């Protein structure tokens, strides 16, 4: 992957079979939006998110009914061979729920604790420590997740008062950013005092504005070696949420900061929750940090590409790859690193196709109605006629079998297909 990015050194944390930290790939996390008390619906959504590529899934544990169903959800997932660890999201009453439902405490892979809302006044430390003690009892890691919208008011007031006495006080936003870092670190070290090993702690400090997120995580990363969970909280809906999250996380990831991430998109009504997983994967793959599925290079179109055929073929190939990749990955190691080019004219088409593992350069307006195909830098075939889309898809499948499968049968099949395409072109030309 990208050798230009040096990951910040961290301790290693195990959440079930998933490893977090600088010695492991950056982990994609997602969160359900079902009522956790509905075990069947929650298990279905967890399964869907896991199949989309989520490696950790957080579920809300906010009531007795929800806590009572966590072990059942875990059992339902295990029956379906869905091994993704569950992260319990606790606010306000987590100390009571974890105490009352030991089967919930056992079934979860990690606890997410927000120190800003575990209690007020003298009860805050007691209730926080109670949750930490339960995590120790069941040997569970914890994510201490502070949030701009629920920051410990006593800590913030204390820091604001201290700032006001300075000769040159900071502005309120700067004090809040510093308070987020102080809250995360103070509570991490308090958890260690209670008994949590240092390799059982993950930190997060989420805000909803890009520049604030970057500043907070840079500060936090420089103060500790705990793994950090990244995410722009309340990122928004649609392109706004995607752009904001991508902008903030790309800066931090480029600096080696971040060990898990979640893209907190607001879904459209009845929208697909899996979209946040796909966006997270695309960010990591685009930056060269991980590979999840073969990537497709496609031109945006211009006056030369008056036909929409190249758009349709790009869409078809991307859909084909989404379906085939889970099958291919179990059969053909390394196929997720494959690059495919679907180009719309001769300007950049041949060049991009040569640079890809396999590519096709479609004819633009006024060009010869033929589509050269390139494999590993060499032009190997020219497709013509109404069956170009299916012919290219078949060649793509054969290429994967030959290149990544290393099978003689795959190479023979690819050779036969290329010969067939060559004969089709010769036959058409002779007419």
Q: Which residues are annotated as a binding site for [4Fe-4S] cluster?
A: 299, 302, 345, 352
Q: Which residues contact 187 (CB under 8 A, 6 or more apart)?
A: 113, 115, 128, 144, 146
Token match 């180009």: residue?
343
Q: Which two tokens stand for residue 96?
A: 């009571």
HSE toward the beta carbon, residue 77, CA cutoff 13 A: 26
Q: Please check whether residue 109 is in contact with residue 86, taking contact to mean a CB–CB distance below 8 angstroms.
A: yes
38: enclosing H helix or E strand: none
Q: Which two tokens stand for residue 14?
A: 């195990």
Q: Which two tokens stand for residue 422?
A: 């060559």
How many CB atoms lie under 10 A from the CB of residue 336? Answer: 18
Please, what is the angle between helix 388-403 and helix 408-430, to 10°? Answer: 150
CA distance 129 to 131: 5
CA distance 122 to 221: 30
Q: Please check whether residue 281 is in contact with residue 289, taking contact to mean a CB–CB distance below 8 angstroms.
A: no
Token match 């969160």: residue?
31
Q: Name the binding residues.
A: 299, 302, 345, 352
Token match 């509905």: residue?
38
Q: State whether residue 230 is helix, strand or coil.
A: strand
Give all strands (DSSP E) within 262-388, no chain letters.
265-266, 295-298, 339-343, 358-361, 371-375, 378-383
Q: Which two tokens stand for residue 297?
A: 């290079």
CA–chain centroid gap for 289, Å, is 11
CA–chain centroid gap for 76, Å, is 24
Nearest to 201 by CA among 404, 410, 431, 11: 11
């Amino acid at each position: 992957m990208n050798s230009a990015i040096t990951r910040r050194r961290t301790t290693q944390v195990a959440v079930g079979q998933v490893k977090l930290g600088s010695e492991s790939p950056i982990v994609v996390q997602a969160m359900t939006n079902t009522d956790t008390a509905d075990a069947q619906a929650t298990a279905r959504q967890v399964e869907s998110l896991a199949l989309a590529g989520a490696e950790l899934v957080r579920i809300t544990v906010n009531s007795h009914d929800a806590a009572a169903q966590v072990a059942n959800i875990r059992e339902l997932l295990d029956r379906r061979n869905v091994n993704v660890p569950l992260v319990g999201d606790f606010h306000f009453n987590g100390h009571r729920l974890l105490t009352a439902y030991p089967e919930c405490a056992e079934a979860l892979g990690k606890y997410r604790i927000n120190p800003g809302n575990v209690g007020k006044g003298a009860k805050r430390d007691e209730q926080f420590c109670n949750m930490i003690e339960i995590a120790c009892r069941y040997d569970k890691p914890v994510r201490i997740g502070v949030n701009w919208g629920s920051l410990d008011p006593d800590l913030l007031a204390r820091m604001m008062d201290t700032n006001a006495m300075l000769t040159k006080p900071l502005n309120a936003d700067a004090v809040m950013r510093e308070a987020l870092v102080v809250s995360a670190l103070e509570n991490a070290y308090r958890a260690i005092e209670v008994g949590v090993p240092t390799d059982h702690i993950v930190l997060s400090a989420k805000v909803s504005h890009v520049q604030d997120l970057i500043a907070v995580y840079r500060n936090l990363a420089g103060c500790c070696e705990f793994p950090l969970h990244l995410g722009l909280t309340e990122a928004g809906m649609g392109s706004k949420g995607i752009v904001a999250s991508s902008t903030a996380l790309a800066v931090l990831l480029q600096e080696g900061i971040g060990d898990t991430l979640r893209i907190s998109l607001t879904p459209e009504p009845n929208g697909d929750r899996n979209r946040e997983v796909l966006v997270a994967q695309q960010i990591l793959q685009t930056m060269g940090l991980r590979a999840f599925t073969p990537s497709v290079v496609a031109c945006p179109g211009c006056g030369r590409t008056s036909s929409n055929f190249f758009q349709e073929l790009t869409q078809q190939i991307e859909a084909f790859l989404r379906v085939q990749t889970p099958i291919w990955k179990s059969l053909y190691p390394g196929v997720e690193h494959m690059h495919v080019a679907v180009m719309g004219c001769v300007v950049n088409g041949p060049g991009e196709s040569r640079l890809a593992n396999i590519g096709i350069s479609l004819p633009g307006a006024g060009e010869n109605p033929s589509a050269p195909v390139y494999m590993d830098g060499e032009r190997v075939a020219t497709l013509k006629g109404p069956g170009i889309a299916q012919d290219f898809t078949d060649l793509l499948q054969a290429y994967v079998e030959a290149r990544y499968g290393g099978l003689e049968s795959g190479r023979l099949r690819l050779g036969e297909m290329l010969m067939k395409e060559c004969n089709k072109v010769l036959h058409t030309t002779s007419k």
